[in-house]
Amino acid sequence: MGRALKELLLHFNWKRVASFYTDDNASRRCYSIVDSLKKTLLKAGIVNVLNTMVERISPTDDEIMSFLQTIKQFARIILVCLEHERDMRRFMLKAHELEMTNDEYVFIMPDFVRDNNRSEMWLDMDSNANIDNMDQAAKKAFRATMMVEMLTSSNDELHYFKKEIIRKAKEEPFLIDSSNVEDQYGSLYSPFLHDSIYLYALALNKTLQQGGTIEDTRWITNNTKNTRFLGLSGEVVIDSQNTREPNFVVRIFDKGMKMTRVVELLMSNSDGKTVNVLVPDKILFENRNGIAPKDVPDCGFLNEKCVVVRQSITHWVAIGAFMCFLMVGLSTVGVFFFVKRRMLCNELGKMLWKINYRDIVFLNDKSRRSKSLGSLRTISTVASDETNEAMAKGDKNVAHHKGILVTVKNHEVSAVLSNESDQKHLKCMKDMVHDNLNVFVGLCIDSPQPISLWKYASKGSLEDILHADTVKLDWFFKYSLLRDVVSGMEYLHSSEILTHGQLKSSNCVVDGRWVCKISDYGLNKLRVESKDAKDKLWTAPELLISTNTHSLPVSQPGDVYAFAILTQEVLLRDRPFCAENLIPEIIIKRVAKTESPPFRPTVKLDKENDVDPAMIQIMNDCWKEDPVLRPNFKHVKSLMKQMARGKNFNLMDHILKMMEKYASGLEQKISDRTRVLTEEAKKADLLLYRMLPKAVADRLKSGQMCDPETFNNVSILLSDVVGFSVISARSTPLQTVNLLNELYSVFDDVISEYDAYK
């Protein structure tokens, strides 16, 4: 059935459908139809925009209405499979109520076998006599349907066979007379049972002719393969897999509301032709002006592609009014852009990005500080905790500019940035604001060499963080840093700056809130090609072999490649290509050489490393050899968001939890160390008391001197082991030691009970 429906849809170029069906978990007729359809539609490129299943035998009116109201916005070809004809009638009445039975909609109702004795599906056959008087509306609604069912024998032959079933059942050997007296015909599925028994008989005869017996079930089963005969259920074709290839027929209700066969779907046809249209389109779609409806209307699902224009006097009045409005609007826009242009020129004239060298106060470079007028002010006047921290680090590239702590970058090229394009570019940099872009403070061109000023980040560069042994980076920490880089680069690529060109860990900074920010962007005109091969480890292969001699080659795919190398740095907390143990010059040559497979860093993670494998895949995609195959940062951001599995993590919260966990662990360590120290002190006291009288030992422990004492009488015990030389001669050294140890332990126990001293 699924294959037949697919062929029908493709024949009329219907590649966008919706489906509604019930599943009672008993017969599962509709479920099997839709399930087979899913597999074939996917392969054929047909989209099922809405697949709705009701898990009971009959849907409610609300469920039907909800489905129909939804698909009005998405589909015009609807597949409907319901267990009972009364439910089909209710469904089509709801569609008629929503005006969905016009020439735009087709409702395809598949079924394996239809009851030929009940063709007036639009009639209200409620046994409770609750007649709804909607038969005429239902009749009109059913004209928008197509019934797909198995192609069986002629109606007369089937009619006779089913009638004979009731008569024969009363005769020998069945003698059944207790069936429902109202049953005048046999079951809908009786022709299939007839053909199954006939197929078995054919296979059994063939087996007996080949020398087999009735008990050779495998032999019999094998003889049913590749069999073809005309049965009561239609032409029976069994393929080499012992699967029946049935044929189907499409029927519609004509003007007289008689079911008419219009299309044959011949699944068993050997010549390859599967769809046989029996009538012309003007008959097939006579209630649709003889034209097959489209799966997507010309005017769109919500009529959004068509505008109805009424040809009347008001139409010309509207055009005249519109033209007047257009002229006024164009004049307003012209004035607006003129004023905007003047304002832009004024802003460019002010050169807000331009920094006066005298306004820069260097913190740790006395030679440069003395040359600036700002050095007349003491550092203490602008000092802060962040300033003191920067001064303590001794970084000579940190300065103050009008009360703002900045990082200074030197540029070797003395480029002239005087034309309007350059000034607009610098103004754009000055205006850029994003959480993951470091603030561009400005450019100083009246200094000995051009210097750019960027907002100071207290934690330093990402490179510093990665190589700091004191900073513990778990996977969440690394993920947050990489996510910040991706977010900043996505914004940069969508801005007027377009590219970075020098993305690497040293050009990413981390502020006091552990937010990673992209820095050193937008100044490609002031850059020169580095002679140090180490600086080219982040450069994409296509840029390494670029023949552009006028400026440094940059591109957005090149930035994506640089991000992949940066990802390797973060994951391994080491330099690029650290596992290769090669000098940078060799690495650059091999990358530019475009080897097969391409030469890339080796990333081997320890077993205890908790890095998400998806991040490794993203990294591999980002450094692909072909720039076209690399994802853009918007796609990378989406992939990383999926890695978070819908959770919104905050790095500061994570750091606080780590600190709490560390503090808790530290308390436990202190407690354990204190307990061990107490136990060792007790052992030391015990040993001391064995060596000295307790009173003497306590005085010595408290730091006091022991004064000599005089006694009138003392008792002295001198002990000797009689025959010790003989005993030791006959004993091993260990036996001798054990003897003395046990003997003097007894002495110690006795002495401890008296005011005596050994």
- Count of domains for the chain: 5
Give the C-alpha distances (Å, rounded to integers) separating 221 from 198, 230, 240, 335. Answer: 13, 19, 11, 88
Q: Is residue 99 part of a domain?
A: yes
Confidence of residue 366 (pLDDT cuts 50, 70, 90): low
User: What's the pLDDT at 721?
Assistant: 85
- For every residue of 614-632, DSSP letters joined together read HHHHHHHHHT-SSGGGSPP
Two tokens, residue 324: 């007047």
pLDDT higher than threshold 70 for residue 1:
yes
Beta bridge partners of 354: 443
Report d(CA 38, CA 48) in Å as an integer. 8
Contact 93, 138 (CB under 8 A): yes
Question: Is there a single domain that holds both residue 53 and residue 142?
Answer: yes
User: What's the pLDDT at 324?
Assistant: 81
% residues pLDDT > 70 (the chain): 83
User: What's the pLDDT at 750?
Assistant: 84
Question: Is there a single domain that holds both residue 375 and residue 440?
Answer: yes
Q: Which domain holds residue 734?
A: 712-758
Question: Is there a single domain that holds both residue 379 and residue 441?
Answer: yes
Q: Is residue 572 part of a domain?
A: no
Higher-pLDDT residue of 420, 254: 254
User: What's the pLDDT at 241?
Assistant: 83
The CATH number that applies at residue 360 is 3.30.200.20
Domain end: 228, 244, 260, which one? 244
User: What's the pLDDT at 375?
Assistant: 41
Among positive and negative, which fits the CA dihedral 449, 455, 459, 465? negative
Confidence of residue 390 (pLDDT cuts 50, 70, 90): low
User: What's the pLDDT at 309?
Assistant: 46
Phi/psi for 433 (5° steps) reads -135, 120
pLDDT average, residue stretch 34-43? 82
Question: Is there a single domain that holds both residue 189 and residue 168?
Answer: yes
Domain end: 295, 325, 350, which one? 350
Q: Is residue 490 part of a domain?
A: no
Confidence of residue 700 (pLDDT cuts 50, 70, 90): confident
Question: Is there a single domain that holds both residue 220 and residue 251?
Answer: no
Confidence of residue 378 (pLDDT cuts 50, 70, 90): very low
Report d(CA 531, CA 546) in Å as an integer. 16
Helix, strand or coil, per DSSP, at residue 386: helix
Question: Is there a single domain that holds both residue 341 and residue 362?
Answer: no
Question: Is there a single domain that holds both residue 239 and residue 262?
Answer: no
Residue with tokens 């009701």: 54
The CA-based angle 529-534-537, given to 5 degrees, is 85
Question: Is there a single domain that holds both residue 162 and residue 218?
Answer: yes
User: What's the pLDDT at 76?
Assistant: 93
Higher-pLDDT residue of 432, 312: 432
- Alpha-helical runs (H) found in 692-723: 694-701
Question: Is there a single domain that holds both residue 284 and residue 140?
Answer: yes
pLDDT higher than threshold 90 for residue 497:
no
Per residue, the 3-state secondary structure of 241-260, as one string, reads CCCECCEEEEEEECCCCCEE
Return mean pLDDT, the chain: 81
Q: Is 280 exposed, middle or buried (0-12, 13-18, 19+ CB in 10 A)?
A: exposed
Of 151, 349, 167, 163, nearest to 231 by C-alpha is 151
Question: How many other CB atoms are there within 10 angstroms of residue 684's CB atom?
Answer: 11
Of 4, 12, 42, 11, nearest to 296 by C-alpha is 12
Q: Could you tell me how many residues make up the chain?
A: 758
pLDDT average, residue stretch 317-335? 79
Confidence of residue 389 (pLDDT cuts 50, 70, 90): low
Question: Is there a single domain that holds both residue 28 and residue 136?
Answer: yes
Q: Is residue 600 part of a domain?
A: no
pLDDT average, residue stretch 102-119? 77
Digit-coded pLDDT (tens) for 167-211: 888 888 877 776 554 456 677 778 888 889 999 999 999 999 999
Contact 153, 234 (CB under 8 A): yes
Q: Is residue 3 part of a domain?
A: yes
User: What's the pLDDT at 517?
Assistant: 92
Digit-coded pLDDT (tens) for 273-303: 688 888 888 888 887 888 889 998 888 887 7
Least confident window among 114-118, 562-566, 596-600, 726-730: 114-118
Q: Is residue 345 part of a domain?
A: yes
Strands, E assignment, 420-544: 440-444, 451-455, 508-510, 516-518
pLDDT average, residue stretch 359-378? 54
The CATH number that applies at residue 190 is 3.40.50.2300
Digit-coded pLDDT (tens) for 245-281: 888 889 898 888 888 888 888 877 665 668 888 888 8
pLDDT average, residue stretch 359-369? 64
Question: How many other CB atoms are there within 10 angstroms of residue 522's CB atom?
Answer: 23
Count helices and strands in the chain by DSSP H and E runs: 24, 17
Report d(CA 425, CA 430) in Å as an integer. 9
User: What's the pLDDT at 347?
Assistant: 54
Give the C-alpha distances (Å, rounded to integers) separating 499 from 172, 193, 201. Answer: 91, 72, 78
Confidence of residue 310 (pLDDT cuts 50, 70, 90): very low
pTM, to two decimals: 0.45
Report d(CA 91, CA 107) in Å as an integer. 10
Digit-coded pLDDT (tens) for 601-646: 888 877 767 788 888 889 999 999 888 889 999 989 888 888 776 5
pLDDT average, residue stretch 225-249? 84
DSSP tag of 546: -
Higher-pLDDT residue of 337, 247: 247
Q: Is residue 611 part of a domain?
A: no
User: What's the pLDDT at 60?
Assistant: 92
Spatial CB neighbours of 395, under 8 Å, sequence gap ≥ 6: 363, 364
Residue 597 preceded by cis peptide, ω within 30: yes
Least confident window among 360-369, 449-458, 534-543, 673-682: 360-369
Question: Is there a single domain that holds both residue 341 and residue 357?
Answer: no
pLDDT average, residue stretch 65-81? 91
pLDDT average, residue stretch 566-589? 88
Top mean-pLDDT range of 467-476, 613-622, 663-672: 613-622
Confidence of residue 372 (pLDDT cuts 50, 70, 90): very low
% residues pLDDT > 90 (the chain): 16
Report d(CA 490, CA 569) in Å as an integer. 20
pLDDT higher than threshold 60 for residue 666:
yes
User: What's the pLDDT at 736?
Assistant: 92
Helix, strand or coil, per DSSP, at residue 492: helix
Question: Is there a single domain that holds both residue 125 and residue 178?
Answer: no
Higher-pLDDT residue of 400, 338: 400
User: What's the pLDDT at 489?
Assistant: 93
Gyration radius from the chain CA atoms: 46
Q: Is residue 116 part of a domain?
A: yes
Confidence of residue 490 (pLDDT cuts 50, 70, 90): very high
Phi/psi for 177 (5° steps) reads -130, 15
Domain end: 423, 456, 489, which one? 456
